[in-house]
Amino acid sequence: MSAEPTVEELSNVLSSYLDTSRINQVRRAYYYAEQAHEGQRRRSGEPYVTHPLAVAFILADLKLDHQSLMAAMLHDVIEDTGIPKEALSEQFGESVADLVDGVSKLTQIEFRSRAEAQAENFQKMTLAMARDIRVILVKLADRLHNMRTLGPLPFAKRQRIATETLDIYAPIANRLGMHSVCTELEDLGFASLYPMRSRYISQAVAKLRGSHQEIIHEIRGRLAEKLAERGLPGRIIGREKHLNSIYNKMKFKQKSFHEIMDVYAFRIITDTEDDCYRILGAVHSLYKPLPGRFKDYIAMPKANGYQSLHTTLFGMHVNIEIQIRTEEMEHIANNGIAAHWMYKNDQSNIASVNQKRVDRWVQGLMEMRERADDSLEFIEHVKVDLFPDEIYVFTPKGKIMELPSGATPIDFAYAIHTDIGNACVACRINRNLGSLSQPLQSGQTVEVITAPGARPNPAWLSFVVTGKARSSIRHVLKHQKHAESLELGRTLLKKSLNGFGQKLSQISEAQVAAVVKHNQVHSLDDLLSEIGLGNRMAYLIARQLATGGVSDEPPMEAGLEKSDDGQGRASVTIRGTEGLLVKFASCCKPIPGDPVVGLMDSGHGLVIHSDTCSRLPEDRESRARLTHLKWAKDITDEFSVELRVEMERQRGVIAEIAGAVAMADGNIERINVEEQNARFGVVSLVVHVNGRRHLARVMRRVKNIRAVTHISRVRH
């Protein structure tokens, strides 16, 4: 390859594995990119198009398909030239446009959040965002060429790119099993971040290698002899230690340079899996193996699909590390997932070997590979999330949170801290107000809005997906329900005792203990809680406490004697904000100002009805057990009311009704139009108001509309 590679040279390389029509498509993408980047130059002064061409060369070495090569040619077009994705789609098809778009998105996200060096989550998120594995391969090739040509960039930018490469891209290459790309990225990143250390280690390695040449030849000769003696095929190559791995061992494993370099490493490449184990036996008969240093990655491949036998021997007064693998394993070890594109024509035993080779997600790829007729069909199927069960979102400060797929802002809030989840009232997604129940997507920035005194909503349990959120919400609601049932039970019992002319504080401890025992509960609080939940009747417990009798017979007197509402009835004050154990009936939708009564609902507390509601019991005894209620004076909460509006049908009348409700400061929750005939219609409205006066104002406004003939409040 010349100093400035040409598209002709690329075509020659591609001709070894692609047909002419596909090579021509790659050339067409090159000429399109050349035109799009016309006049743009790299920092080094070369025409910009030399960069996409070099990226394509890297992918050609990995023998990737023609669509990946076309995407390599076009990968900067959307971002740098303003040409939209749609234009690429028209020219080169949707698959290529999607690849280019995916690479552009990875670049943008990395730019936005580079201050946050949570490398491992970032690697996962980068992978999760690329729905097609080839997006990552193009991005890795792009990064590799950028690392090779870092020279002309300013120092600070070089440092940033090198750090990002070591933290994010080299580990991704390793995760995908692409050893050759990974080690080159690591060594280039290391040389850029630590030029002095890199130079020093490099010189020390060269010097040491020179003095060790003799012993290396000796060991290699003996290994070759042993293989020949046993009739085993195998080529022996010396393995060089990479600068970055030497540095990391010195730094993190506290080893000296000579300790690391006094190990002689060889790789033996053979034909079959069976040969690998035979060669292992041969080398173990030549030198003594070190106990505990043998690893069989053929029977148990690494997560990224890597397979090999590793053993460490002691001979010639030095340690000798040996890796034994087949040609195919060598190719997989160097090129990882990219190697899978190589096997489009070979349907022999490779598919069954591949089943053992790959981990959770690559295994899915290989199963699809078996069902596909050729590599292009295979690639069509490979548009999958590598992490289908995880999403990665940002906090406003750029920290990355890992959540399960389908997680909502409530799950996010609890993942940060239980107190934040409990106090959550709203959220912003990418700076816009969002719904608390909508599932989050990878890459979004989520901000939780909290309010002092806010409490979890029971409805959250229907959409949260994380165990932490679910258990935290249940815990708070359980405590809240207990506290509220206790308070409501105390209020109801006091009211009932009032009817007997007694106060709770006046009743003796012995009498309380007797009633508690008779009702088979542990304490007075438990009894009050049971009353609040509607499981026990307040007036029966009050009678037991007041009269000293512990019979469950109903009292003779149905009315309650002492009153505090001036009408001969003891009443409980309702504020509308009591919480979980005071509910407003959906049948009659009572609002402040309506005469109301409470009906105990077993296990669920008090349900408030309008006193004219048709759902209330008819018989005198049951009605006597209703709790009489009155409204507090300063209620500002909103309540739902259903209205029925009869009107003449004319254009724009619905908008007029909505406008009239808004003018009266009402909020419309729901609006249904029920057609009657061509001239007249009926509209059913559910409106939020804060009392009877407010409702009257809303109804007056609506009635004043010329087309409205009649308006009434609906009580079922």
Q: Do 606 and 600 contact (CB within 8 A), yes or no?
A: yes
Phi and psi at residue 443, to the nearest 5°:
95, -10
Residues whose CB is less than 8 angstroms from the CB of residue 429 and which lie 6 or more positions away in sequence, other chains included:
409, 438, 440, 444, 445, 446, 447
Distance (Å, rounded) from C-alpha 413 to C-alpha 427?
9
Distance (Å, rounded) from C-alpha 288 to C-alpha 378?
46
Sign (positive/negative) of CA torsion 437, 439, 444, 445?
positive
Distance (Å, rounded) from C-alpha 433 to C-alpha 427?
6
From 79, 110, 385, 601, active-site residue: 79
SS3 state of residue 537: coil
DSSP 259-316: HHHTEEEEEEEESSHHHHHHHHHHHHHHSEEPTT--EETTTS--TTS---EEEEEEET
Name the maximum alpha-carbon separation found in the chain: 114
Distance (Å, rounded) from C-alpha 500 to C-alpha 541?
12
Of the candidates 636, 582, 637, which has an alpha carbon nearest to the alpha carbon of residue 609?
582
Distance (Å, rounded) from C-alpha 656 to C-alpha 83?
46
Torsion of CA 328, 330, 331, 335, to 10 degrees: 140
Which amino acid, residue 359? D
Our answer to whether residue 79 is catalytic in this structure is: yes
Q: Which residue has the tokens 């009877």?
A: 692
Task: Give how far Cα 311 sits from Cα of 266, 677, 703, Å.
Answer: 10, 89, 91
Backbone region of residue 507 per phi and psi (left: phi > 0; alpha: psi in -120 to 50; beta: other values) = beta
Distance (Å, rounded) from C-alpha 631 to C-alpha 574?
5
Return the number of other C-beta atoms located less than 10 Å from residue 697's C-beta. 16
Q: Which residues pair with 573 in a beta bridge?
A: 630
Helical residues (DSSP H) of 615-691, grouped into ranges: 620-624, 653-663
Surface-to-core class of residue 243, CB atoms within 10 Å of its CB (0-12 exposed, 13-18 middle, 19+ buried): buried
From 80, 120, 564, 565, active-site residue: 80
Residue 546 tokens, joined: 């007041």
Distance (Å, rounded) from C-alpha 242 to C-alpha 183?
7
Q: Do 448 and 409 contact (CB within 8 A), yes or no?
A: yes
Distance (Å, rounded) from C-alpha 245 to C-alpha 230?
35
Helix (H) or strand (E) holding 402: strand 400-404
Distance (Å, rounded) from C-alpha 472 to C-alpha 466?
10
Q: Do 507 and 545 contact (CB within 8 A), yes or no?
A: yes
Our answer to whether residue 274 is catalytic in this structure is: no
Distance (Å, rounded) from C-alpha 122 to C-alpha 113?
10
Residue 52 tokens, joined: 């996409």
Task: List, by residue number, the catalytic residues.
Answer: 79-80
